[in-house]
Structure 1
């Protein structure tokens, strides 16, 4: 298998669908423009790629999960728009472009994020109604919880409350399992559930957990020593905002070792889930990424 070619094909499939997924009828032009500005600004599309790949690996069909997977990218994009706001990380660069609030103003950026989140659930519920399968409702429940107060939003709150504090490594794990890990884990689980392979749920869940933590550690490492041009965003933001990270608590060398450890665990899970080797290669790709 040519991993890079396979990844590119999946990303292109997702990007083509994202370009058409927002129905613009009767919607104010400015809000649609702001939504699409961030949604179509590029990115690796890791969460929908995970959902599609795991569904396929477990015998599901791409057409059964594609729109659902794209809805997860809408949720991820909304979170990035809100993360960049002056009240949060106060960042002005994302994916090599000015952030949403810099271009459209704070009020429209907030509404664009809100709109993407709501539209994601429009897509998810349409899938459940059109296909009339319980598995879509079950997957929707997982996504809603992963994006809510017990998941991504809860993690963001902990992050804000922890600014300027010396938190423990246990508290850091808890924060990132929610803030970053929850939606990654949910993306994986939705692939499993829509493929209707519930006997694989525990293994897929474990894969998502391990991958989510590894992904965040690498993010922290890149914020510390990454190249802003390759990243398409500013570095040193965590330090500037007095945030605790794996690097600030453990140091750069220990953080790299820990990322390797979690990636190794994820790869062991991947071997069970996907016999094609794609997930295995994807895990390595995410560990060694420069952006």
Structure 2
């Protein structure tokens, strides 16, 4: 996993060179290269390898997914959204570069994600590239990430059902990372800001819809374990050696501490 993360980091660094206009590229690089677990791009690469592909085939889409994820974090931290000051153990983008630049940095990363897939993908049919771009667009748009975000915003201060909470997290984090969303909710109320690298207790302070709020910490952790177990069961259909990285990811996501 560490080797895959290094490969992703190297590609991301090259994808956003420090060039004119300097301020926007500084802001893009600040958040994109701030660290993080790189779970999403690693998941993308491991999934490609699972069905017989190799790392080089998957890296453009893997980087695009991380660009989109970083955009969502930059925008999510803005004063008009969650108004957060800490992300990945650093000041949030808007605290360093200002709100206007942070918005534009997120916009630029979103645009770059699609450009990167189109320009950098090789040894793949044009039809498959178009399909990948369409899937990315669907995942981030008004029926995907944005749908989850707007439902989350509209649910603040209200009592939501389990089905609505699942809708929020499935759309904000994607179905493959639903277990991670449950664990993230739990960590928000059980860990400190220093341990998390971001502001702890923010969901509670904002009266957001979360799994611990709805069902309690213990039941929420049991749900995360159940989701991870289900993911592992799905992997049983594949060759064990190829599925090994995804087994590791499922276990890591369900048992992570930050």
- One fold, TM greater than 0.5? yes
Mapped pair 1:265 → 2:258: no
What TM-score, normalized by structure 2, do the two folds share? 0.95
Name the SS for the 1:272 alignment partner: coil
With over 3 angstroms needed to count, the CA separation of the structure-2 counterparts of 1:257 and 1:131, relative to structure 1, is closer
Q: Which runs of 5+ in 1 are unaligned?
A: 1-6, 182-208
Shift, 1:132, TM fit: 4.5
For residues 63 and 147 of structure 2, the distance between their equivalents in structure 1, rounded to whole angstroms, comes to 23
CA contact (8 A) 1:24 1:32 kept: yes
Which one scores higher on RCO, CA 8 angstroms, separation ≥ 6?
Answer: 1
For residues 221 and 270 of structure 1, the distance between their equivalents in structure 2, rounded to whole angstroms, comes to 26
Name the SS for the 1:88 alignment partner: coil
For residues 149 and 236 of structure 1, the distance between their equivalents in structure 2, rounded to whole angstroms, comes to 28
Shift, 1:9, TM fit: 0.6
Runs of 4+ in 1 over 3 A off after TM superposition: 127-132
Shift, 1:64, TM fit: 1.3
- Residues matched between the structures, number: 256
For residues 67 and 129 of structure 1, the distance between their equivalents in structure 2, rounded to whole angstroms, comes to 9
Shift, 1:262, TM fit: 0.7
Shift, 1:57, TM fit: 1.8
Of the three residues 170, 173, 177, the one matched with 2:166 is 173
Q: Which runs of 5+ in 2 are unaligned?
A: none
Mapped pair 1:225 → 2:190: yes
Name the SS for the 2:237 alignment partner: helix
For residues 78 and 109 of structure 1, the distance between their equivalents in structure 2, rounded to whole angstroms, comes to 9
Alignment of 1:1-291 (within 5 A): 7-23=1-17, 27-127=20-120, 131-181=124-174, 209=175, 211-273=176-238, 275-276=240-241, 277-291=244-258
For residues 47 and 100 of structure 1, the distance between their equivalents in structure 2, rounded to whole angstroms, comes to 21
For residues 274 and 124 of structure 1, the distance between their equivalents in structure 2, rounded to whole angstroms, comes to 28
What TM-score, normalized by structure 1, do the two folds share? 0.85
CA contact (8 A) 2:16 2:28 kept: no
Name the SS for the 2:137 alignment partner: helix
Superposed CA RMSD in Å reads 1.5
Shift, 1:229, TM fit: 1.7
